[in-house]
C-alpha cells in the first residue's frame, strides 16, 4: 500500500510513467485504467477523464502545434492533470508513452509541476532492435507510409512519436533524469519469452506500492503485432487513403484494418537488416551503461537489453513478393465486403448491372 498523505497537503508521491513506446505500455495502461476505482481505494489516483486525456497532456507538455485539431479540449490538458493531482492526498499516476519525446527543458518542467511531492520516473524498456522494429510497425498501424529503411536512415515514420527520439533509451533517460535522484528513477525491463505473463504488471505494481494480486490483469496480449506481409499491405493501403484525424486513424486504420482484419491473416514475423545490428548493439550498451553508472532502480533483467537477439531473426520487408501482397490484399477486400454486407443486412446495392 502507498504511504500516507503529505501533511502539507497534496500528493506525497507522483509517478510519471513515460514509456518507451512498444515496451508493454498498452498492457500496463489497460491494467491501471481497468482498475481505476480499486487503485483509488488503494491510495493511487489517475487524474483526468481517461487514457486520452493523458495522451493530450503528453503532447500539451511538449507544446505541440495544432493540438486543438485533435480535440478542442486537448490544449491545457497537462495543467488540468497537474491541478487535479495537486488536490489529492493519495499518490498520483500519469501514464503515456508519448511523454518520452519531451525535451530536457520540458521534462524538467514536468517534474517541477509537483512542488513538495516526491516525483518518481517510471521507464519501461526492451532492446533497441525490438523497440525500433515494433515502433515502425506501430507507425504504419497509425497511417504511416514510410518504409523501414527510411526510418533506420533517420526519417521520422509518422511524427516525433515514431522516431529515434522516442526509441533511444539512453537519450530519453538523459533528458528526463537530470532533476531526479537515482532511487526515484525506475527502469522496468520488459519480460521475455518464458517469463510469467504478468511479470511486467508485478514490477509496475511494486514501484507504485500496490498489491498486484488485488487487481485484474489481461490474460492475453494487447496491441497485437502483425506479420511482415500484412504490414507492407497496410503501408501500401495507407498511401491511397485520404487524410484522417487522429481519432479516425485510431478507429479505421489501427483498429479496423490492422488489429481486426489484417491480424486475422496467417503471418510471418518481420525482422531488421543485419547491417543495422552494430548500431542497435551500441544503443543497448549505452543504455545499460548509463543505468548502471547512475544507479537507477532496475526491475527485471538489465542484461536482457543487450542479451536478446530476436528482432533481427524475422523476415525483411524487402523480401515480400507482389504475389504475397496480392493475396493479403485480396483477403482484406473480401473481409471488408463481408463486413459491409453484414452491416447493411444483406441489402444488395443497385448498380448498372442490377436487374
Cα separation, 300 vs 283, in Å, equals: 19
Task: Judge contact between 210 and 2, C-beta under 8 A.
Answer: yes
Task: Judge contact between 228 and 315, C-beta under 8 A.
Answer: yes
pLDDT of residue 221: 58
pLDDT of residue 317: 87
Share of the chain above pLDDT 90, in %: 69
Task: Judge contact between 18 and 172, C-beta under 8 A.
Answer: yes
pLDDT of residue 349: 55
pLDDT of residue 275: 83
**Nearby residues of 228 by Cβ (< 8 Å), 6 or more positions away:** 267, 268, 269, 270, 271, 314, 315, 316, 317, 320
Of residues 159 and 328, more confidently modeled: 328
pLDDT of residue 33: 97
Task: Judge contact between 179 and 108, C-beta under 8 A.
Answer: yes
**Nearby residues of 291 by Cβ (< 8 Å), 6 or more positions away:** 173, 187, 298, 302
pLDDT of residue 276: 85
Q: Which band of pLDDT confidence, cut at 50, 70 and 90, is reported for residue 44? A: very high
Residue found by looking up cell 463481408 in the block: 338
Q: Would the pLDDT of 354 be above 60?
A: no
pLDDT tens-digit profile of 160-189? 777 888 999 999 999 999 999 999 999 999
pLDDT of residue 313: 67
Average pLDDT over residues 310-330: 86
Q: Which band of pLDDT confidence, cut at 50, 70 and 90, is reported for residue 346? A: low
pLDDT tens-digit profile of 213-260? 999 888 665 677 899 999 999 999 999 999 988 889 999 999 999 999
Q: Which band of pLDDT confidence, cut at 50, 70 and 90, is reported for residue 345? A: low
pLDDT of residue 246: 85
pLDDT of residue 168: 94
| Average pLDDT of every residue of the chain | 90
The string of DSSP letters for 265-278 reads S----B---GGGHH
| Sequence spans of domains, the chain | 13-331
Is the alpha carbon torsion for 276, 128, 319, 152 positive or negative? Answer: negative
Q: Would the pLDDT of 338 be above 80?
A: yes
pLDDT tens-digit profile of 260-313? 999 999 999 988 888 888 889 999 999 999 999 999 999 999 999 886 554 446
Q: Would the pLDDT of 22 be above 60?
A: yes
pLDDT of residue 352: 45
Q: Would the pLDDT of 3 be above 60?
A: no
pLDDT of residue 120: 98
Which CATH code of 1.10.275.10, 3.20.20.60, 3.10.20.30, 3.40.50.300 fits the domain covering 13-331? 3.40.50.300
Q: Would the pLDDT of 141 be above 90?
A: yes
pLDDT tens-digit profile of 57-92? 999 999 998 899 889 999 999 999 999 999 999 999
pTM for the structure as a whole: 0.88
pLDDT of residue 312: 47
Amino acid at each position: 500500500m502507498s504511504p500516507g498523505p503529505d501533511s502539507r497537503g497534496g500528493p506525497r508521491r507522483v509517478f510519471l510513467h513515460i514509456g518507451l513506446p512498444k515496451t508493454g505500455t498498452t498492457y500496463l495502461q489497460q491494467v491501471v485504467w481497468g482498475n481505476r476505482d480499486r487503485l483509488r481505494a488503494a491510495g493511487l489516483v489517475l487524474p483526468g477523464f481517461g487514457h486520452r486525456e493523458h495522451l493530450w497532456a503528453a503532447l500539451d507538455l511538449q507544446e505541440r502545434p495544432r493540438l486543438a485539431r485533435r480535440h478542442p479540449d486537448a490544449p491545457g490538458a497537462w495543467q488540468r492533470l497537474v491541478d487535479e493531482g495537486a488536490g489529492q492526498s493519495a499518490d498520483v499516476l500519469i501514464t503515456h508513452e508519448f511523454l518520452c519525446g519531451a525535451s530536457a527543458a520540458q521534462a524538467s518542467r514536468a517534474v517541477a509541476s509537483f512542488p513538495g511531492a516526491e516525483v518518481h520516473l517510471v521507464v519501461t524498456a526492451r532492446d533497441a532492435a525490438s523497440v525500433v522494429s515494433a515502433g515502425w510497425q506501430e507507425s504504419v498501424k497509425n497511417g504511416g507510409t514510410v518504409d523501414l529503411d527510411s526510418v533506420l536512415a533517420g526519417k521520422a515514420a509518422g511524427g516525433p512519436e515514431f522516431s529515434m527520439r522516442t526509441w533511444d533509451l539512453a537519450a530519453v533517460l538523459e533528458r528526463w533524469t537530470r532533476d531526479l535522484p537515482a532511487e526515484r528513477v525506475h527502469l522496468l525491463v520488459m519480460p521475455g519469452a518464458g517469463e510469467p505473463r504478468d511479470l511486467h504488471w508485478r514490477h509496475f505494481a511494486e514501484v507504485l506500492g500496490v498489491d498486484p494480486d488485488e487487481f485484474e490483469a489481461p490474460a492475453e496480449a494487447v496491441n497485437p503485432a502483425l506479420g511482415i506481409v500484412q504490414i507492407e499491405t497496410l503501408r501500401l493501403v495507407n498511401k491511397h487513403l485520404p487524410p484522417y484525424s487522429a481519432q479516425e486513424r485510431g478507429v479505421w486504420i489501427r483498429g479496423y484494418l490492422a488489429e481486426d482484419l489484417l491480424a486475422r491473416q496467417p503471418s510471418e514475423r518481420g525482422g531488421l537488416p543485419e547491417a543495422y545490428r552494430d548500431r542497435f548493439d551500441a544503443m543497448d550498451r549505452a543504455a545499460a551503461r548509463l543505468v548502471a553508472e547512475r544507479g537507477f532502480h532496475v526491475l527485471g533483467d538489465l542484461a536482457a537489453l543487450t542479451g536478446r537477439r530476436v528482432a533481427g531473426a524475422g523476415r525483411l520487408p524487402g523480401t515480400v513478393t507482389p504475389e504475397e501482397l496480392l493475396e493479403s490484399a485480396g483477403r482484406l477486400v473480401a473481409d471488408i465486403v463481408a463486413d459491409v454486407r453484414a452491416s447493411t443486412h444483406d441489402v444488395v446495392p443497385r448498380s448498372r448491372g442490377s436487374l
